[in-house]
Structure 1
Amino acid sequence: MFPLADVPRLITAGRLTRLLRLVHAALREDWGLEAPRIAVAGLNPHAGEDGRMGREEIEIIAPAIEALRAEGLDLAGPLPADTMFHPEARAGYDLAVCMYHDQALIPAKTLDFAGGVNVTLGLPFLRTSPDHGTAFGLAGRGVADPSSMIAALRLAADLARRRGVPWRR
């Protein structure tokens, strides 16, 4: 992770293109979606308001999305992040790509804090973890909710089966 102040300079068309291809491939291969629909958030409030609130959407994000659409990927965006996560909006995509940590994790944790799972894509092995982090402050006190850890282990097992990795219970 990086400080929020570093995010704008770290967003490049190349990085975004690589990420969107990786996400698209994972949705097809690991989740079995034949034609994944991906929503892409803008960086700035209201996705930049046509350049009035930032130019990253116009200069970086939209051109990367357009290039991948030309390759056949079903991408929507850049979208205003503040309107992407209500139920009607979520019905229009399979996965949302956000530009920074809180833009994605505030809605994700609001929707399912106890069952949230983090999946790291692009590694040569499966990696899942509880979405809320390690909760070191709760360790050893007998008060932690194991739901997210259980969900992470179940998802790892499901993904392993889909990939044909031998798995025993």
Structure 2
Amino acid sequence: ANLVLRSSDFVDFYVLEGLMRLISPHFDSLFPLNNPRTKDGRAVICVAENSKTMHQLLSIIYHHTDEVDMQDFELYTSIVKAVRVYRMATIESKLRKQALVSRLPAGESLRMYALATTLQWGDVAKAAALNTLPRPLSEISYLKELSWITGADLHRLVSFRFRCGDAA
């Protein structure tokens, strides 16, 4: 390892600069570093993500794991957002496919709809919308993720639910 990524909670991750530059145009654009902070003779790059997010993201990059635990939606969301920031298209594609085929807990479908809509993952948003159907609208409560989408996005979901109800 010849580069240190320092998380927002000050955990250092020793990584291969070449791999990070290869997988992320964002990291590639950072080099050469001007007057880098160093630790043990290695350049240090501070990142906005916490250590839990960075650990999982690096586990995917280094092939220690193929998937993120979808039961921890907060973690999944933070990883997807980091992947977007760092423009890691290959990993985003992998996470998108995982979201498309995963079985989320019943209450997470609306959250996934909001995330997928925000990311413009139409196929995932449609699958998540379908997964909201078993719950009546009257049982759906406010989620902070709803603030990520527009009123038009929410209207599309409600209209979709009504059309599905009419078809049944």
Report the TM-score when normalising by structure 2. Answer: 0.28
- If you compute each CA radius of gyration, which structure gives the higher value, 1 or 2? 2
Q: Which has the higher contact order (CA 8 A, sep 6+)?
A: 1
